[in-house]
Chains A and B, each alone.
Chain A
Amino acid sequence: MEIMDFIISKYNYWMYIIIMMIGFYAMIAKTNLAKKVVGMNIFQTAIILFFISTASKKGATIPIIQHGHGEAADIIHAAQYMNPLPHVLMLTAIVVMVSTFGVAIALLIMIYRKYNTLEEDEILEILKIENGR
């Protein structure tokens, strides 16, 4: 029984692990380069989900103190606010992810221009022929 609620209570981790493994599988096993890139995105998204899920709290709100300083400042309970740091980190991670995605797609275009295919095995065939010459 406790194994069940061990699983249930940590469901966000199980989710991110499953999603991450899907992406990982796509990156490693797919021969189509575009699918590799998609897998890469899934992979990174899973990690972002993981970070965000660690920051959430029940019934908490955004960590911005309304009508700021002075008398209001002393009624701050950390339990009322989400942990902002993971969100900030993930904002950066998303930027990194977007730029990686852009670079990868650009590379895909270059590769497609050269080989007229995105299937890895076909490209390797072409390379073998080139080496033969």
Chain B
Amino acid sequence: MIQHAPVLIIIIPLLAALMNLIVGLWRKRLCYLFTVAALGTCVFLSVAILDIVAGHGTITYKLGGWPPPWGIAYVIDHLNAFMLVIVSFISLVVAVYSKVSIEKELPEKIIQFYTLFLLLVTGLLGILATGDVFNLFVFLEIASLAGYALIAVGDDRAPLASFNYVIMGTIGACFYLLGVGYLYIATGSLNMADLSQLLPELYDSRVVLGAFAFLMVGVAIKMAFFPLHKWLPDAYTHAPSAVSAFIASTMTKVGAYVMIRIMFTVFKPYFSIEVIPVTAILGWLAVAAMLYGCIRAIAQTDVKRMLSYIIIAEVGYIVMGVSVGNRMGFTGAILHILNDAFMMACLFLAAGAIEYKTGTRNVHNFSNLYKKMPVTTAAFTVGGLSIVGIPPTCGFFSKWYLVLGAIDSQQWVFAGTLLFSSLLMAVIFFKVLVNIYFGSQPVSGAHSIGGNGAVVMDEAPLSMLFPICIMAVGILSLGFFSGKIISSVIQFTVPGSF
């Protein structure tokens, strides 16, 4: 049965999503357990896949037994196996977390929420697993549609934010589809491996160049890369806390994955680097993204909006690492996909827990919060330090590789910008953390009873606290094991020509 894991990991959440509707008609409460069980299975399967891939190399699964390029093939190498583990794990953690917060935020939409959540997971896992460019488009749209709906049920600004996301996302998807169409005209194939065989002799044809441009723009919109990021902050700010935690930590990363696939699998690396200097363009845009994201984030008082702008900067990090075009930088980018997924999940979950308890997202109301909810704020601190890049948190190590990559390719501006942006990150989180630990108005009686305000402690429920702690511990432990992760998985994802 395990050899069918590549398709099962997509079918199981899909079936569970539709089952939820029926189960929900009978018992509302079962939906939660059902979802968690399905996602747990996904985590197990993804780990199994990673194990197989690490052991025996790339898996190719032919749907319907049709050999590619005629049938759809699911091709899983180290890169997507790695991503599958990240996405399924974070989806499980967020699902566990979502129980209480969803019961509070949308009490009458629980069934629909879990259905859409599972569909979103299905879409993301499908994007990662498939080896077929059109199938990728379908899953991209499944994920996006579920995302639109999930974002729309947030607070009262959410519908408008979600509508803008729909417009932008549709443009992105249509551009991607156009690119696929051009590739199909030029080669008559939709299979990634097949395309990478057929394309090299067409690299000078305008159709292929146009296809590449359309694909890149479409994906850049989906991953909120700098000039095309407008939809992101609103959408992520107004979504329900569980949704924004999951989407923020995975969706942009999956977009980055698709970009890497297009640049280095569908097209050969030397095309993306030499034939047309797309990596150079992306690199400079990434620099702009880092600066823009950090600078806009400084000005925000809404913690979720602040984190959303930080995501834009983080996407810039990833693209920068890819664009320097050497082994170090690429390793840093892939490592940063993992680390950033964890950091963002941790921070958004913590922010959600804080909002759940205090009802505010405004950082100025966080003063002396550590007395009220020490564990959550501790996790928030860990996440913040990791984003700033203080060792031994994992954020330091991905930045280590990113900067070394930039230095190796003599891109001093990139390296300087990355360090400068981590300075700005330090400013951002310093502002928040000082508020949390040394609030301007101390809690009454604090001076008489001393620092750890056990007396006024009022933590979030355990089902929220546990995922947050998992993420915080994950951030710390990923830091220590990053060398092992690189040597066992990431080094195989680097394109051969680097």
Residues of chain A whose beta carbon lies under 8 Å from any beta carbon of chain B: 24, 27, 33, 36, 40, 43-44, 47, 50-51, 54, 85-86, 89, 92-93, 96, 99-100, 103-104, 106-108, 110-111, 114, 123, 127
Contacts and interface: CB of A to CB of B under 8 A. Distances in A.
A40 B173 CA distance: 11
Nearest to B157: A127
A50 B149 CA distance: 29
Contacts of B184: 54, 85-86
B145 A50 contact: no
Interface in B146-177: 148-149, 152, 156-157, 159-160, 162-163, 166-167, 170-171, 173-174, 177
Nearest to A44: B174
A110 B166 contact: no
Contacts of B156: 114
Given A99-B145, A100-B166, A107 B152 contact: yes
Nearest to A88: B134
B167 A54 contact: no
Contacts of B134: 89, 92
B163 A104 contact: yes
Given A89-B134, A110-B159, 20 more contacts: A24-B171, A33-B163, A40-B166, A43-B171, A44-B170, A47-B174, A47-B177, A54-B181, A54-B184, A93-B177, A99-B145, A100-B166, A100-B170, A103-B149, A107-B159, A107-B162, A107-B163, A110-B152, A111-B160, A123-B160
22 contacts: A24-B171, A27-B167, A40-B167, A43-B171, A43-B174, A54-B185, A85-B184, A86-B184, A92-B138, A96-B141, A99-B141, A99-B145, A100-B170, A103-B145, A103-B166, A104-B166, A107-B159, A107-B163, A111-B160, A123-B160, A127-B157, A127-B160
A4 B177 CA distance: 29
Nearest to B147: A103
B181 A47 contact: yes
B7 interface: no
Contacts of B177: 47, 93
Contacts of B141: 96, 99-100
Q: Tell me which of A44, A96, A111 has the highest count of chain B C-beta atoms within 10 A of its own C-beta.
A: A96
B178 interface: yes
Nearest to B162: A107
Contacts of B173: 96
A131 to B, nearest CB: 10
Which applies to chain A's interface (DSSP): helix, strand, loop or mixed? helix
The 5 A-B pairs with the shortest beta carbon distances in the complex, nearest first, are: A110-B159, A96-B141, A107-B163, A111-B159, A103-B148
Contacts of B185: 54
Contact of B178 (A47, A85, A92, A107): A47
Which applies to chain B's interface (DSSP): helix, strand, loop or mixed? helix
Interface of B: 134, 137-138, 141, 145, 148-149, 152, 156-157, 159-160, 162-163, 166-167, 170-171, 173-174, 177-178, 181, 184-185, 190
Contacts of A54: 181, 184-185
A51 to B, nearest CB: 6
Contact of A27 (B162, B171, B178): B171
A47 B487 CA distance: 44
B215 to A, nearest CB: 14
Nearest to B185: A54
A114 B163 CA distance: 14
A111 B163 contact: yes
A51 B167 contact: no
Given A27-B167, A114-B159, A50 B152 contact: no
Contacts of B145: 96, 99-100, 103
Contacts of A114: 156, 159
Q: Tell me which of A33, A44, A103 has the highest count of chain B C-beta atoms within 10 A of its own C-beta.
A: A103
B484 to A, nearest CB: 41
B157 to A, nearest CB: 8
Nearest to A24: B171
Contacts of A85: 184, 190
A44 B156 CA distance: 29
Contacts of A93: 137, 177
A36 B167 CA distance: 8
B148 to A, nearest CB: 5
Q: Tell me which of B141, B171, B181 has the highest count of chain A C-beta atoms within 10 A of its own C-beta.
A: B181
Contacts of A51: 181
A91 to B, nearest CB: 11
Nearest to B138: A92
B170 A43 contact: yes
Contacts of A47: 174, 177-178, 181
